Chain A
Amino acid sequence: MSKHRITLTVNGEVHRLTVKSNELLLNVLRDRLHLTGAKYGCGIAECGACTVLKGDESVMSCLVPAVAADGWELTTAEGLVTADGELNVVQEEFLEKSAVQCGFCTPGMVVASTALLRENPDPTEDEVRDYLRGNFCRCTGYHAIVEAVLAAAVDAQNGGRL
């Protein structure tokens, strides 16, 4: 089995790693870089718990071979927080609107919602629900999550940080 030197930029930090051809990005993030925001839920791109940003686009890190991510610039839920601990507007509104219960889906939800608002700053409720259709939540019933994203859109339009 081949081994490869790769470079990952995660949350602004450059990491040089040697990975085996069959290692997955999600496991590298969690087990080697100790970024445990992205979660293992289903492992087959059906739940969204492992969502991370590649540039400004969301991807499911459970399906990405780490070696194929060589050179990518990634952001995890941790990376949406500034160095001095300030949350982004989506994270703030998830707290404000009680859109978090057990929290397992939350990192994936905030990452995907941030991607949505960077692409579409003023989404309708339908657009929010459509965009988040691959992120499953077993607790909240989604209503509070959608409210939080819509509120975050307003915050971002008023100069809040995305």
Chain B
Amino acid sequence: MNTRFLEKEYDYVKPATLDEALDILAEKENVKVLAGGTDLIVKLKTDALEDMDIMMDINSIDELCGCCINADGDLVIGATAKISHLEKNDDIKAAYPALSEAMHAMASVSVRNMATMGGNFMNASPVADTAGPAMCYGAQVCLKSKKGERTIDATEFFLKPGVTAAEDDELLTGFVIPKPADNTGAAFVKIGRVKSDIAKVSITAVMEREGDTVKSCRLAMGSVAPKPLFLADIGAGLEGQKMTEELIMKTADQIRDFVKPIGDHGTTAEYRKEMSGLIARDCLMEAWKRSGGELA
């Protein structure tokens, strides 16, 4: 494996506008988008990418680089906004702590200064750290092509490893993430070999509290299935229940028993399963605490 040079030959284009980019995607074959390149260039170097004739750099398209709160109070993240800028964004830290934590837990600062959330989604690894928080916060993924625009719920975006619901001629333009309700608490917990590593297993919880009961709960996990896993039923099962330490233990066991991870280099399936329960416990407790709740 040669990682010193790029042996592959291709053309490079850098459209200045979204329209131009969508034209290129519609008209040309084998176009790959370059956002931060932290997955794309690694794949090019490790020969994991067969067909790329054109690399399309989207970093000059002004309307894709922002991050703001829109008129409805929802968070809007552009496709080329850098992970390092997002993780430090005050609005995200305050209202979407699990997302900020997941972003901070990714790779190293130099990688995060390059990487984007759009790239994390389009790369569609089961490990993708931003996927869990996005799914739990109810993020909508915005896609655009010459044919039009559409949004897909983050929980429906991932199909299998490396494959998403986006079509070849669609550009991921960004994300819209609804404003969390009052009394919402959220947390992200990840276990890796060392801090700069990808997750051996990760979990996100976003919980809404009403007094001492759970009003709603959304849970997701990374690295335990062929795609980022949204635990719809286990989360919904907590709704209306009075929160206790016992309930957290029971839910953590339920999660551990439910997931069917695989083993790979350095991590056994059993370890992933055991850790799933353990981090579920920590994550649920932290989310509940942050919602303002106390544990009976």
Contact = CB atoms under 8 A, between A and B. Distances in A.
Contact of A59 (B6, B9, B113): B113
B72 interface: no
A44 B12 contact: no
A63 B38 contact: yes
B46 interface: yes
Contacts of A43: 2-4, 45
B163 interface: no
B45 A134 contact: no
Contacts of B107: 45, 134
A62 B3 contact: yes
Nearest to A41: B3
Contacts of B55: 21, 65
Contact of A112 (B38, B110, B195): B110
Contacts of B46: 44
Given A57-B84, A134-B196, A45 B42 contact: yes
Interface string A35-68: 0000010111110100100100111101111011
Listed residue (B9, B10, B59, B196) with the most chain A CB atoms within 10 angstroms of its CB? B196
B45 A58 contact: no
Size category of the A interface is 35 or more
Interface residues of B, number: 34
A4 interface: yes
Nearest to A1: B9
Contacts of A60: 110-111, 114
Interface in B167-203: 194-196
A157 interface: no
B111 A45 contact: yes
User: For chain B, what secondary structure do more than half of its interface residues adopt (helix, strand, loop), or is it mixed?
Assistant: loop
A4 to B, nearest CB: 7
Interface in A116-141: 116, 130-131, 133-135
Identify the interface centre among B4, B6, B57, B110: most chain A CB within 10 Å of its CB. B110
Interface string B270-288: 0000000000000000000
Given A54-B113, A112-B110, A134-B109, A21 B12 contact: yes
Contact of B10 (A21, A46, A116, A134): A21
Nearest to B8: A22
B176 to A, nearest CB: 27
A24 interface: yes
Given A44-B42, A63-B42, A133-B195, A24 B111 contact: no
Contact of A42 (B3, B34, B37, B195): B3
Nearest to A19: B12
Interface string B84-114: 1000000000000000000000011111011
Contacts of B18: none
B207 to A, nearest CB: 27
A113 to B, nearest CB: 11
Nearest to A57: B113
A57 to B, nearest CB: 5
Contacts of A42: 3
Contacts of A24: 5-6, 41
B3 A51 contact: no
Nearest first, the 6 A-B pairs at minimum CB distance are: A134-B108, A43-B3, A21-B12, A22-B6, A1-B9, A2-B11
Given A45-B42, A48-B110, A67-B14, 19 more contacts: A1-B9, A1-B10, A2-B12, A24-B5, A45-B108, A51-B110, A57-B84, A59-B110, A63-B37, A63-B42, A64-B37, A65-B6, A65-B37, A65-B57, A67-B12, A112-B109, A112-B110, A133-B195, A133-B196
Interface of A: 1-2, 4, 21-24, 27, 40, 42-46, 48, 51, 54, 57-60, 62-65, 67-68, 112, 115-116, 130-131, 133-135
